[in-house]
Structure 1
Amino acid sequence: MAPVFCRRGAAAAEMALVTPFLIILMFGAFELGNYFLSEHVVVKAVRDGVRYASRMNLAKYNCTSASTDNPLTDTVMEDQIQNLVRTGIINSDGEARLRGWTDATAIDVGYDCIAVGNVDPPYGGIYTGLNYVPVVHVKVNELDYVSLFNNLGFTSSTIKLNAEAQSAVMGI
């Protein structure tokens, strides 16, 4: 006679073994989705900032010779661009687009002066008569990523968010 095995607890035992992996997979998917959402928010914020900066008057950019990485001399305009990137509005009263984005030190605003003769096809329209065209760039460097589970102790200082955008200044 063959031995008889009781199978009444087999499903419960299998569920007890599989459940931790399912929970890790589920919360990992949440965290990955949050990371991609945060990255998208930073990229969109940088695009908004460069779009705003590119609509400023051409006179605000001093392009008398070909040069790169020029800092803005108008600190009010730089503050407005940084506030727009961080909060979505140009004054400092706005709420941060991302949790934990408390200051604008990670936001770099500058411009390059490109010689008109170095561009093919040559610039025309509003750039006619200019020797150098300003190209503004906005960059977010090493912004700390804030985890969904930060309050539970799952913090990471190694995951950083970065984005960069540039546009020729078109003036108003």
Structure 2
Amino acid sequence: MNAIRSKRKGAAAVEFALVAPFLILLVLGIIEFGRGMMVQQLLTNASREGAREAALPDATADSVKQKVVDFLSDASVSVSPSDVTVDPDPSAAFDNEQITVKVEVGYNEIGWINGSFLNGVTLSATTRMRSERLD
């Protein structure tokens, strides 16, 4: 029995050394995908907040963009106002006209792992709401 045990000594360490890199990659991939899904949901919520702002009577495109940027920065996602599109400008919209707010961010800007296979992917969210002008 001792002869068998001495031949197997260190086998678990070798097996772990062979399997560990794949397990680590799997765990990191799950974390990175989870981050992407979380940011996608944040973009959806931010575009909704922006569209809600755009529907209000005194809204401007700049105020809508700032609302979206502030919402995302509170959630530790950095975007610039140029990543937010508002069409048409809320200050020129008619009553009951649909206003579209779109937020786009590249995955390479929000990913935690550099060199990810998702670097070419762009996450985006679009929300449409009718303007509520009280003319």
Instruction: Find the counterpart in structure 2 of residue 84 from structure 1.
Output: 67
With structure 1 as the length reference, what TM-score do the two structures score? 0.62
Rg (Cα) greater in structure: 1
Between Structure 1 and Structure 2, the one with more helix by share is: 2
Q: Within 5 A, what are the aligned runs for 1:84-163?
A: 84-88=67-71, 95=73, 97-101=75-79, 103-111=80-88, 133-141=96-104, 143-145=105-107, 146-150=110-114, 154=116, 157-163=119-125
Taking the aligned partners of 1:27 and 1:171, their CA distance within structure 2 comes to: 48
**Aligned-residue CA RMSD in angstroms?**
2.9
The answer to whether the 8 Å contact 1:149/1:155 transfers is: no
Q: Which runs of 5+ in 1 are unaligned?
A: 58-75, 89-93, 113-129
Q: Which runs of 5+ in 2 are unaligned?
A: none
The amino acid across from 2:97 in the alignment is P
Between Structure 1 and Structure 2, the one with more strand by share is: 1
What SS class does the counterpart of residue 33 from structure 1 fall into? Answer: helix
Number of residue pairs the alignment of both structures matches:
125
Structure 1 pair 99/155, CA: closer, same or farther in 2 (3 Å)? farther
Runs of 4+ deviating beyond 6 Å: none
What SS class does the counterpart of residue 105 from structure 1 fall into? Answer: helix
Taking the aligned partners of 2:26 and 2:119, their CA distance within structure 1 comes to: 22
Taking the aligned partners of 1:149 and 1:140, their CA distance within structure 2 comes to: 22
The answer to whether the 8 Å contact 1:56/1:170 transfers is: yes
Taking the aligned partners of 2:96 and 2:73, their CA distance within structure 1 comes to: 34
Q: Post-superposition shift, 1:96?
A: 6.1
Q: Post-superposition shift, 1:100?
A: 3.9
Q: Post-superposition shift, 1:108?
A: 1.0
Taking the aligned partners of 1:10 and 1:97, their CA distance within structure 2 comes to: 46
Identical-pair percentage:
27
